[in-house]
Amino acid sequence: MTGLREEGVVFQVRIHGRGGQGAVTAAELLSVAAFLEGRHAQAFPSFGSERTGAPVMAFCRIDDRPIRVREPVMRPDALVVQDATLLHQVNVFEGLHPEGAVLINSPRPIEELGLADLAETVPHAFALTVPATALALRHFGRPVPNAVLLGGLAALTGCVRIDSLTAAIQDRFPGELGAANAAAAREAFDHVRAEREEFVHAQAD
């Protein structure tokens, strides 16, 4: 793994969204991308209300070895927030690893989301945003940000390669829809990679 955690160590992702935004599908796509790279992975949802609009969680673990644990991810290495309105309704940052990463679906920077103190709460976190819903609408005409955000996550953490991710997306959504989702994920990857480089340079100054 080339991202935030060293190779051979399980990488845990928690996805926060609302019912209907595809959080569970996102976790499954991420696990398939890891499988395509010859690694072990698991994906599963939280148990609770799944009605449209209700807060939901999904989890993914990636490891180079078989994964035995099936508990919810309580100490994530990365958080994906599919809906920024959850930020002040749910404690999405609970348990985040001190060197973890946060990716939020929003066209606005972290500071404008009322999260300027996130760097103080999690000193080493990479906390970035990506306009995933806008990218989804532009590429395939639906406000479904799940696969798009995974492209950003791949850039932010290196948990999977973008080629593996787009292959998983196109396998799940064949035809034009899959190609459009994959293109949106690649654009999110490029967007977050540029943001991450800017973040790293700012921290070095």
Q: Output the DSSP codes for 119-142.
A: HHHSTT-EEEEE-HHHHHHHHHSS
The average pLDDT across 113-126 equals 70
Tens of pLDDT, residues 2-29: 344 445 579 999 999 998 889 999 999 9
The average pLDDT across 126-155 equals 96
**Backbone φ, ψ for residue 151 (5° rounding):** -60, -45
Tens of pLDDT, residues 161-183: 999 999 999 999 989 999 999 99
Is residue 159 pLDDT above 90, yes or no? Answer: yes
Quick one: pLDDT at residue 53?
77
The average pLDDT across 29-36 equals 98
Q: Model confidence at 124, in pLDDT bands (50, 70, 90)?
A: low
Low-confidence winner among 3-7, 25-29, 54-58, 98-102 (lowest mean pLDDT): 3-7
Report in angstroms the alpha-carbon separations of 81 from 25, 169, 202.
14, 19, 24
Contact 140, 22 (CB under 8 A): no
For residues 32 and 130, what is the distance between their CA atoms, to the nearest angstrom? 23
- State the DSSP H helix or E strand holding residue 157, giving kind and residue range, or none if neither: helix 146-157
Quick one: pLDDT at residue 90?
86
